[in-house]
């Protein structure tokens, strides 16, 4: 079977979104070959080239009314054409010597974003990163030019996303499919280069839907079989009732796409009809098929990984982590081990079905990806990485001697002790992202988050002490949230930045979805759900009215503005209510709330000792211990030296697991006399997890 898996425009510029690559690995395990195409990066590279810009400028020439930045771009047409290919190559990492010219000479044609560039944060030794930032802003300016003058739905991370908004009908999408902008001509050309008889198209986000339908419609007209799936489909199109969509696709798959896709392909090859969680023109099909093995990692196959752009479009350190560098994607566990948050889609399979991966399989896949891609960076795409699995993973990584860089999403729970965070840092974890959400105790209880603000502070402190960056997901506008509660949550976030417990964060406005517990019991949360618009196509976000809550619109602009200042270390002493033009009440939180939370730290409770240092060196009267950044001399007799050397050998990640109780029971001497040395060894690098 000739099969191609396609990622439509647009998602990320720095790395392939992993959906089609996860499918490719699963199919490969089942002896089915396929090709992969990321038409997002291919479209961007076609548009942002000399030929692409020439066509863009030719279209601008036909317009009479243009905004001022477009006239400036036209005036600098030749300069744009001369530099664009070099800028793209530089952002791909192919021409690093261009950095000096970008920084020190009038090389890039100035647009509105470049004109506002501020390079102070990069410092004197950050020349290469500063140049990448300027090159990124240059592409952003060109993207703005295309958006304002050529195709209003274009963006570097989405395409026609507004047409896929929840509760919208299909008419706007269908009408837009009959039009052809300059961007569409490039997308059509790329679609025509796909010559497979079967094409699977993944739609992870609203900004992929229009491109997916355009690609599918064109391929179906040519006679190909088109299958549609992905995260957006799983949430928004579960109840789709629109005949015209079958002009674009032949089948829609839900939940874990691997099983339904394999069942369809096997049936097309003559096997039994096991269509599983699939919708076609003749209805919905349910059939039990095997689940994909958890711990499956991406397989990038024939994707050109060196074509992606290493952009720096923000000074937010977590956002930069997402966009800077090419990360291998891998999953520790399917679903969420907590799956109780009342705003979350816990009723859907991708959240509700939790299954842990085996650590051996997981690290085997990591080693495979390193060999295939040459990249040692891994982004765990879990809903929330389980602490117990992370501990086992870290020990296995250290035991195998792998040098990797890791980051992913977690819950700020008490399991993340200082010792566990030190272990994770030693294994390569550099950053975590997690939900603090509303930062208010009453509302956290209503959310059923399972953590308190104080616990978040203690967990964040443990990560930060280990050198791990912490990003907080923040929420406002939750049902029944008052002005005072929003002000108080804003104050606690400020205190977290003051205490250096958050490196970055992002405020999200609450959205009510039909698959969340709030939607099934709105009275409990004090909201009224509006009637669904007739003719709705995408059905996920629900209009709702919160009669007891605040007017949340007043916070839309101020919260991100304050947050941006705090993450840059500015205005941390400004009372939070003074960020608003209107008079709002001051916070009722204690100014030392977060500091006091850190005073209530719990003693380590881990039952396994893990030594993070090197091999002990024996001298006449002491044992010399080394870690990567420190050393310690432990003065003791020969019997105690032998005991300690054996203990640390057993406690090494690849050694025989040992516990604190075992250590105390076998110590050749009075333990009380050894406690000061023991504490020093623990601080040096002996963790209890």
pLDDT-based confidence at residue 347 (cuts at 50, 70, 90)? confident
Decide if 300 is inside a domain: no
191 Cβ neighbours under 8 A, 6+ residues apart: 39, 214, 215, 218, 219
Q: Look up the domain containing 633 and give its range.
A: 609-688
Residues 51 and 106 in one domain: yes
User: Final residue of a domain: which of 111, 140, 155?
Assistant: 155
Residues 411 and 450 in one domain: yes
The average pLDDT across 403-432 equals 96
Q: From CA 214, how far away is CA 160, in angstroms rounded?
A: 11
∠ Cα 28 33 34 (to 5°): 110
pLDDT of residue 325 exceeding 90, the answer is no
pLDDT of residue 121 exceeding 90, the answer is no
Decide if 337 is inside a domain: yes
Classify 223 in phi/psi space as left (phi over 0), alpha (psi -120 to 50) or beta.
Answer: left
Q: What percent of the chain has pLDDT over 90?
A: 74
Decide if 293 is inside a domain: no
pLDDT for 605 equals: 67
User: Final residue of a domain: which of 576, 598, 620?
Assistant: 598
* Tokens describing residue 329: 């994607």
Residues 470 and 334 in one domain: yes
Whether 26 and 292 have beta carbons less than 8 Å apart is answered as yes
Whether 532 and 167 have beta carbons less than 8 Å apart is answered as yes
CATH of the domain at 14: 3.40.50
Task: Please write the tens of the pLDDT for every residue from 486-543.
Answer: 999 999 999 999 999 999 999 999 999 889 999 999 999 999 988 777 667 887 888 8
DSSP letter at 292 equals P
pLDDT for 547 equals: 87
3-state secondary structure at position 40: helix
Question: To the nearest whole number, what is the mean pLDDT of the chain?
Answer: 92
Whether 440 and 481 have beta carbons less than 8 Å apart is answered as yes
User: Final residue of a domain: which of 570, 598, 626?
Assistant: 598
Decide if 56 is inside a domain: yes
* Tokens describing residue 110: 């100035």
The answer to which of 38-42, 168-172, 360-364 has the lowest mean pLDDT is 168-172
pLDDT for 278 equals: 78
pLDDT of residue 61 exceeding 90, the answer is yes
Task: Please write the tens of the pLDDT for every residue from 139-189.
Answer: 999 999 999 999 999 999 999 999 987 656 899 999 999 999 999 999 999
More confident residue, 534 or 103: 103
The average pLDDT across 72-99 equals 96
Decide if 511 is inside a domain: yes
Residues 338 and 460 in one domain: yes
Domain count of the fold of the chain: 4
- pTM summary value: 0.92
Residues 389 and 435 in one domain: yes
pLDDT for 544 equals: 87
Q: From CA 529, how far away is CA 526, in angstroms rounded?
A: 10
pLDDT for 292 equals: 60
pLDDT for 270 equals: 80
Decide if 466 is inside a domain: yes
Residues 161 and 151 in one domain: no
pLDDT-based confidence at residue 624 (cuts at 50, 70, 90)? very high
Decide if 174 is inside a domain: yes
Pick the most confident of 34-38, 259-263, 332-336: 34-38
Task: Please write the tens of the pLDDT for every residue from 270-280.
Answer: 877 766 677 88
pLDDT for 166 equals: 61
pLDDT of residue 405 exceeding 60, the answer is yes
């Amino acid at each position: 079977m000739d099969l191609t898996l396609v990622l439509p425009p647009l998602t990320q510029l720095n790395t392939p979104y992993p959906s089609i690559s996860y499918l490719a690995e699963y199919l490969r395990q089942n002896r089915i070959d396929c090709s992969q195409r990321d038409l997002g990066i291919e479209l961007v590279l076609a548009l942002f080239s000399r030929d692409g810009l020439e066509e863009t400028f030719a279209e601008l020439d036909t317009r009479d009314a243009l905004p001022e930045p477009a006239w400036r771009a036209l005036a600098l047409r030749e300069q744009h054409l001369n530099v664009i290919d070099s800028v793209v190559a530089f952002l791909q990492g192919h021409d690093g010597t261009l950095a000096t010219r970008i920084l020190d000479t009038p090389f890039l044609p100035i647009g509105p974003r470049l004109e506002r560039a501020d390079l102070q944060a990069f410092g004197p030794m950050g020349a290469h990163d500063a140049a990448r930032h300027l090159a990124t802003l240059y592409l952003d300016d060109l993207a703005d030019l295309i958006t304002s003058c050529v195709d209003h739905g274009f963006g570097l991370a989405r395409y026609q996303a507004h047409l896929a908004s929840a509760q919208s009908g299909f008419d706007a999408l269908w009408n837009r499919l009959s039009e052809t902008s300059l961007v569409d001509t490039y997308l059509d050309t790329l679609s025509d280069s796909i010559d497979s008889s079967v094409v699977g198209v993944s739609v992870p986000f609203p900004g992929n839907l229009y491109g997916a339908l355009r690609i599918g419609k064109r391929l179906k007209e040519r006679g190909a079989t088109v299958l549609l799936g992905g995260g957006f489909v799983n949430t928004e199109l579960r109840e789709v009732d629109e005949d015209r969509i079958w002009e674009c696709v032949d089948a829609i798959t839900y939940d874990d796409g691997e099983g339904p896709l394999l069942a369809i392909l096997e049936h097309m090859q003559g096997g039994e009809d096991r269509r599983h969680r699939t919708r076609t023109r003749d209805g919905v099909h349910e059939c039990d098929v095997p689940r994909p093995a958890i711990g499956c990692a991406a397989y990038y196959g024939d994707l050109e990984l060196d074509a992606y752009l290493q952009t720096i479009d923000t000074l937010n350190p977590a956002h930069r982590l997402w966009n800077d560098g090419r990360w291998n994607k891998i999953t520790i566990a399917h679903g969420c081990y907590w799956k109780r948050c009342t705003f979350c889609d816990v009723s859907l399979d991708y959240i509700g079905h939790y299954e842990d991966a085996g650590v051996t399989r997981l690290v085997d896949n990591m080693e495979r990806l390193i060999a295939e891609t040459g990249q040692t960076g891994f982004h765990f795409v879990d809903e929330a990485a389980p602490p117990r699995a992370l501990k086992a993973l870290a020990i296995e990584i250290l035991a195998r001697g792998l040098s990797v860089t890791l980051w992913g999403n977690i819950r700020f729970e008490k399991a993340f002790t200082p010792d566990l965070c030190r272990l994770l840092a030693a294994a390569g974890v550099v950053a975590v992202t997690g939900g603090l959400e509303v930062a208010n105790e009453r509302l956290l209880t209503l959310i059923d988050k399972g953590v308190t603000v104080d616990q978040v502070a203690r967990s964040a402190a443990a990560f930060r002490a280990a050198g791990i960056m912490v990003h907080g997901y923040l929420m406002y506008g939750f049902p029944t949230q008052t002005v005072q509660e929003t002000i108080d949550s804003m104050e606690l976030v400020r205190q977290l930045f003051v205490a250096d417990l958050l490196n970055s964060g992002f405020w999200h406005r609450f959205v009510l979805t039909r698959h969340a517990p709030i939607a099934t019991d709105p009275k409990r949360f004090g909201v009224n759900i509006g009637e669904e618009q007739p003719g709705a196509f995408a059905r996920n976000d629900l209009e709702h009215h919160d009669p007891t809550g605040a007017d949340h619109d007043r916070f839309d602009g101020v919260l991100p503005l304050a947050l941006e200042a705090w993450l840059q270390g500015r205005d941390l002493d400004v009372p939070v209510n003074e960020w608003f033009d209107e008079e709002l009440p001051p916070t009722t939180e204690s100014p030392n709330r977060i500091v006091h939370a850190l005073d209530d730290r719990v003693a380590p409770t881990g039952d396994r000792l893990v030594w993070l240092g090197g091999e002990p060196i024996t001298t006449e009267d002491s044992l010399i211990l080394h870690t990567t950044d420190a050393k310690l001399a432990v003065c003791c007799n020969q019997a105690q030296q032998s005991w300690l050397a054996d203990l640390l050998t057993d406690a090494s990640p690849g050694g025989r697991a040992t516990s604190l109780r075992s250590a105390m029971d076998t110590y050749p001497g009075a333990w009380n006399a050894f406690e000061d040395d023991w504490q020093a060894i623990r601080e040096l690098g002996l963790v209890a997890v």
